[in-house]
Homo-oligomer: A and B are copies of this chain.
């Protein structure tokens, strides 16, 4: 398959967009990516979205958004893999261009969650877990993660305070990203005093919902003209793996096997090791997920990720910067859009266009998008040159 590069990116701020419909949000991101790329349209559209059928009474987003952005008669599909829908759409677009099936593709992740009451959104989110054996028993997503976090603390001896650095880092970075939902730093004391959601997860362990859209245009690397001053960002690895949908069926609920497998496949494709990764946009839907992701992707020993955070190694000047534009915690987690925000932000960083959030000297970055409680995990590695 041929090498693929990013020709344009677009995003809306993550927010409560009361004044913008689903199609307007997606359209803003796509049209802004078209504008940056200097294109009026592309051959194929891939939409990452989880819950528009229930939250917005609108499915069929491939045709719906293709129509809105003026791509009539192009092919258009929606890809759903719960919270990893964004990366799944990106991966599908990548495969379409890499295989030669199309010459240009756009992937857009979009979610509009704030039109619905939060109990309905909580129920929608629970459709990512097992309807019979998890959601049907009353387990919400935050409850599932609370069980995992409690077990992790028990198993490895960490206290709740030891997770503060994940949240503090994310909010500090979000404060430097004009597209983040939350743009205020927080203190450790604020973290400690935040209201409890599902013990031990408090409000500052959990990422916020929101409305947002992010888009990327993909073309064959050989089609790029090198007369631009901007570094070319190539996708050097793409890998996906699933795990049991119910965490109760896993040998060890504290190991994200699908992340271990997809990350190691991605490292092999790119011919690198975790040591070569300069920044890591991980799926910090909850602080515990940031910890498990760092371990599964090879940046910390099992049970030792909080130490990395406490030592500041996850900060912009640390060994492995994470959530560099705020992550899910501060940029926000508009579910089906999140994986695409990760790719857009990685591209901003690798092009040295991340503004105040810029990490210095970055050349290779990884994004890891998680669907369900670790049941679908997709890794991408991007390289600038």
Binding site for B on A (CB under 8 A): 1, 21, 50-54, 56-64, 66-67, 71-82, 88, 92, 95-96, 98-101, 123-124, 126-132, 135-136, 240-246, 249, 257-258, 261, 371-372, 375-376
Contact in complex: B242, A73 (CB < 8 Å) = yes
| A297 CB → nearest B CB, Å | 16
Contact in complex: A67, B101 (CB < 8 Å) = no
Contact in complex: B81, A375 (CB < 8 Å) = no
Contact in complex: B127, A76 (CB < 8 Å) = no
Residues in chain B near residue A131, CB distance under 8 A: 56-58
Contact in complex: A62, B242 (CB < 8 Å) = yes
Contact in complex: B371, A242 (CB < 8 Å) = no
Contact in complex: A59, B95 (CB < 8 Å) = no
Residues in chain B near residue A100, CB distance under 8 A: 1, 99
Contact in complex: B59, A82 (CB < 8 Å) = yes
| A244 CB → nearest B CB, Å | 5
Residues in chain B near residue A240, CB distance under 8 A: 75, 77
What are some 26 contacts across the A-B interface (CB < 8 A)?
Answer: A50-B59, A54-B54, A57-B136, A58-B130, A59-B82, A59-B127, A59-B128, A60-B81, A60-B127, A60-B245, A60-B371, A60-B372, A62-B376, A63-B82, A63-B243, A63-B376, A64-B245, A67-B243, A67-B244, A67-B246, A73-B242, A73-B257, A75-B242, A77-B88, A77-B92, A95-B101
Determine the residue in chain B with the shortest Cβ distance to A128: B60
CA distance A131 to B51 in the complex (A): 14
CA distance A376 to B249 in the complex (A): 38
Residues in chain B near residue A50, CB distance under 8 A: 59
Contact in complex: A241, B59 (CB < 8 Å) = no
The 7 A-B residue pairs whose C-beta atoms are closest, nearest first, are A99-B99, A75-B240, A60-B82, A63-B375, A58-B131, A59-B127, A63-B242
Question: Which of B76, B99, B132 contacts A376, CB < 8 Å?
Answer: B76
Question: Which of B72, B242, B245, B257 contacts A244, CB < 8 Å?
Answer: B72
Q: Decide yes or no: A63 and B245 within 8 Å by CB, A95-B101, A131-B57 being known contacts.
A: yes
Determine the residue in chain B with the shortest Cβ distance to A57: B131
Question: Which of B58, B77, B372 contacts A63, CB < 8 Å?
Answer: B372
Residues in chain B near residue A257, CB distance under 8 A: 73
Contact in complex: B135, A60 (CB < 8 Å) = no
Residues in chain B near residue A79, CB distance under 8 A: 77-80
Contact in complex: B67, A375 (CB < 8 Å) = yes
| A30 CB → nearest B CB, Å | 14
Contact in complex: A58, B99 (CB < 8 Å) = no
Residues in chain B near residue A375, CB distance under 8 A: 60, 63, 67
Residues in chain B near residue A129, CB distance under 8 A: 60
Contact in complex: A135, B261 (CB < 8 Å) = no
CA distance A80 to B50 in the complex (A): 10
